[in-house]
Amino acid sequence: MSIKTEHMVLNMGPQHPSTHGVLRLELELNGELIVNVKPHIGYLHRCFEKHAEAMTYPQIIPYTDRIDYLASIYNNFGYAVTVEKLMGIQVPERVEYIRVIFGELQRIASHLVAIGTYGLDIGAFTPFLYCFRDREKILSLFEMTCGARLLYNYIWVGGLSHDIHPEFVRLTREFLNYFRPQVEELNQLLSYNKIFIERTANIGILPAETAINFGMTGPNLRGSGVKFDLRRNDPYSIYDRFDFDIPVGDGRMGTVGDCWDRYFVRVLEIEQSIRIIEQALDQIPEGDVSSAIPKRIKPPVGSVYGRVENPRGELGYFLISDGGLNPFRLKVRGPSFVSLSVMGELCKGHLIADVIAILGSIDIVLGEVDR
């Protein structure tokens, strides 16, 4: 005898505590088992790309802040690098160093949110607040420099909006000295916790081939064991001057490319970012940060693709200029948007609780998915 059963459809989101913003996941369930996952996006769509066509090049920078609001500096950075590439601007040494320091501080801040909220998704509340406590200190360093804590409008085409505060170098060193042991504490509290490993190891395994086919970048790709980092493979700014490693997932707790690997790559990247910042702080030269800022930004006719390694992966700007004051077209290639597409593939056959673990491990920012 067979009993007629049907699958339950559960809408997770758009208002749900752990969808990291306003994402709606349509889950098709067999009991608690996932049959299918369909992400529905667009709740945060703000027409960034269309807006950009109606604004001058410097006016776009504050809008780029809002793409990925956890890594604003990096959005500025990528945009500036792209426009400079088209215009052929050589920025001063000091600017490059400050950009790298800020970019890496931003990477640490962004990874702290990723790690903290991931702990929260798994049910550990305390590491979340520890991460935010340390992130606050980084935000204070930013605030000291440009007055903003979240949306900075700091990296301009050809330079920076302000020079760093005279105390900045000393305070950043102080912060790094304070912060290094905190990473160890975080590992003891969360990364090597037995329950945490049980929940994340061997869950949502993303083989390297699938990751490449889906176009994943950043920690998600490196978690699958692929050593690809734009800072090394296609160096922009002055990243070729620093000595750092590219951590990859090694399946230490389970299989290569599982949630734990993706999580732990971020922890290791924090340590590498600390190394880069320390080297940059040692080498930073004196100089003027606004000397190369053009009076009027009017790039020549043409198109350019600029890309940077943002905390979530490859952030690319494709810019077409018709020689006017506004870009003809500005297309953003967001890493979270691409990463989200792999959700359906990763979730099949797992439980509801694993959907949360997987979603947290690919670390999306909905602001950037929808733009």
Partner 1 sequence: MLELFTELTGDALLGMIINSLIPLVFVIPLALFFVWLERKVSAHMQDRLGPMITGSHGWLQTFADVLKLLQKEDIIPADADRKLFTIAPILVFAGSYAAFAAIPFSSAYIGSEIDMGIFYVVAVSGLVVAGILMAGWSSNNKYSLLGAMRSVAQIISYEIPTVLVILSIVVLAGTLNLLKISEMQTAYFWNWFIFGGPEPGLIKFLLIPFMFAGFLILYISSLAEVNRTPFDIPEAESELVAGYHTEYSGMKFAMFFLSEYANMFVVSAIVSAVFFGGYQSPFGYLGNSLGISWLVPIEQFFWFTAKGIFFVFVQMWLRWTLPRLRVDQLMAVCWKYLIPYSFVNLIIIAFLELYR
- In the complex, which residues of this chain contact partner 1 (CB under 8 A)? 8, 10, 16-18, 32, 119-126, 129-130, 133, 189-190, 193, 195-196, 198-199, 351-356
* Angle (deg, nearest 10), helices 93-122 and 126-146: 160
Q: Which is nearer to partner 1, 150 or 195 (CB)?
A: 195
Q: What are the φ/ψ torsions at residue 308 (nearest 5 degrees)?
A: -135, 160
Q: Which is nearer to partner 1, 125 or 240 (CB)?
A: 125
Q: Which is nearer to partner 1, 8 or 150 (CB)?
A: 8
Q: How far is the CB of 275 from partner 1 (least distance, A)?
A: 27
Question: How far is Cα 139 from Cα 112, in angstroms, rounded to an integer?
Answer: 12
Q: Which is nearer to partner 1, 52 or 365 (CB)?
A: 365
Q: How far is the CB of 14 from partner 1 (least distance, A)?
A: 13
Q: How far is the CB of 71 from partner 1 (least distance, A)?
A: 23
Q: Please choose, from the candidates 248, 72, 254, the residue with its C-alpha nearest in 3D space to the C-alpha of residue 149.
A: 72
Residues 341 and 214: beta-carbon distance below 8 Å: yes
Q: Which is nearer to partner 1, 31 or 302 (CB)?
A: 31
Q: Which two tokens stand for residue 138?
A: 């980084």
Q: Which residues, 6+ apart, have CB-to-CB distance to 204 below 8 Å?
A: 258, 259, 346, 347, 350, 354, 357, 358, 361
Q: How far is the CB of 74 from partner 1 (least distance, A)?
A: 27
Question: How far is Cα 311 from Cα 74, in angstroms, rounded to an integer?
Answer: 8
Type of residue at 325:
L
Q: Which two tokens stand for residue 29?
A: 């369930």
- DSSP codes of every residue in 305-342: EEEEEETTEEEEEEEEE-SSSS-SEEEEE-HHHHHHTT
Q: Which is nearer to partner 1, 97 or 130 (CB)?
A: 130
Q: How far is the CB of 289 from partner 1 (least distance, A)?
A: 36
Q: How far is the CB of 347 from partner 1 (least distance, A)?
A: 13
Q: Please choose, from the candidates 80, 49, 53, the residue with its C-alpha nearest in 3D space to the C-alpha of residue 67.
A: 49
Q: Which two tokens stand for residue 85?
A: 């590439």
Q: Please choose, from the candidates 83, 230, 71, 107, the residue with its C-alpha nearest in 3D space to the C-alpha of residue 159.
A: 83
Q: Which residues, 6+ apart, have CB-to-CB distance to 219 below 8 Å?
A: 262, 265, 266, 269, 311, 312, 313, 363
Q: Which is nearer to partner 1, 122 or 338 (CB)?
A: 122
Q: Which two tokens stand for residue 83?
A: 């426009």
Using DSSP's 3-state secondary structure scheme, residue 177 falls into helix
Q: How far is the CB of 172 from partner 1 (least distance, A)?
A: 22
Question: How far is Cα 281 from Cα 103, in angstroms, rounded to an integer?
Answer: 13
Q: Which is nearer to partner 1, 123 or 207 (CB)?
A: 123
Q: How far is the CB of 255 from partner 1 (least distance, A)?
A: 17
Q: Which is nearer to partner 1, 203 or 319 (CB)?
A: 203
Q: Which is nearer to partner 1, 133 or 227 (CB)?
A: 133
Q: How far is the CB of 134 from partner 1 (least distance, A)?
A: 10
Type of residue at 156:
W
Q: What are the φ/ψ torsions at residue 342 (nearest 5 degrees)?
A: -85, -5
Q: How far is the CB of 23 from partner 1 (least distance, A)?
A: 14
